[in-house]
Chain A
Amino acid sequence: EVQLVESGGGLVQPGGSLRLSCTASGLTLTNHWMTWVRQAPGKGLEWVAYISPDGNTIHYLESVKGRFTISTNNAENSLSLQMDSLRAEDAAVYYCARLRSITTWDLWGQGTLVTVSS
């Protein structure tokens, strides 16, 4: 079965760091564009970052530039999102998803919850 599984969420204080992972089974992540999308509690969806299959093309939501880093790990067949200098407004469920085109995300993980609070 093809699936994505996120992990790494949790409670972190403002200004702290967290690293999210997205592990794939049934597909090779580095053959696909991948993305992170987040959803604050009770709110709508918000795109966060993209990465190309070769890792050379990366784009970020303006509000996370310089704080978040998206990357892939070939050996582990995983996608990561390193989140630094976290703010209260970053609190959300974070989903990883596979891209078919820039707005066509056809495979999603179940999400991992990030809480930013003191």
Chain B
Amino acid sequence: QSALTQPRSVSGSPGQSVTISCTGTSSDVGAYNFVSWYQQHPGKAPRLMIYDVNKRPSGVPDRFSGSKSGNTASLTISGLQAEDEADYYCCSYAGDYTYVVFGGGTKLTVL
């Protein structure tokens, strides 16, 4: 069982927006602004999409955005495209003992 809770799956049609939630606790997501999101296509390595809650690395389309409220972080993908279909994982710093926790992953299907 993962420390952070994500929906198992979400879906949307091309052009639509979807939001993936990531719920933790006051010891991880709620305590630190070290929340990242990773995209993973089948058989591939993860790719960093969002870091520090809402920052985008260079090369990541601005259709991807992140936010946080309390113990829940969110990844929003607007203007869905076929290539966005992938698994998405959130992770958070959880203090100087546990260090890093992940969500169980969300499968995004573009209909």
Contacts and interface: CB of A to CB of B under 8 A. Distances in A.
Contact of B93 (A37, A44, A45, A102): A102
B93 to A, nearest CB: 5
Interface residues of A, number: 21
B46 A104 contact: no
Contacts of B91: 45, 47, 103
B27 to A, nearest CB: 14
Main secondary structure of the interface of A (DSSP, over half): strand
Given A101-B51, A103-B92, A47 B100 contact: yes
Given A103-B36, A104-B51, A104-B52, A47 B99 contact: yes
Interface of B: 2, 34-36, 38, 40, 44-48, 51-52, 57, 89, 91-93, 98-105
B46 A95 contact: yes
A106 B99 contact: no
Contacts of A46: 102
Main secondary structure of the interface of B (DSSP, over half): strand
A50 interface: yes
Interface of A: 37, 44-47, 50, 59, 61-62, 95, 100-106, 108-111
A46 to B, nearest CB: 6
A105 to B, nearest CB: 6
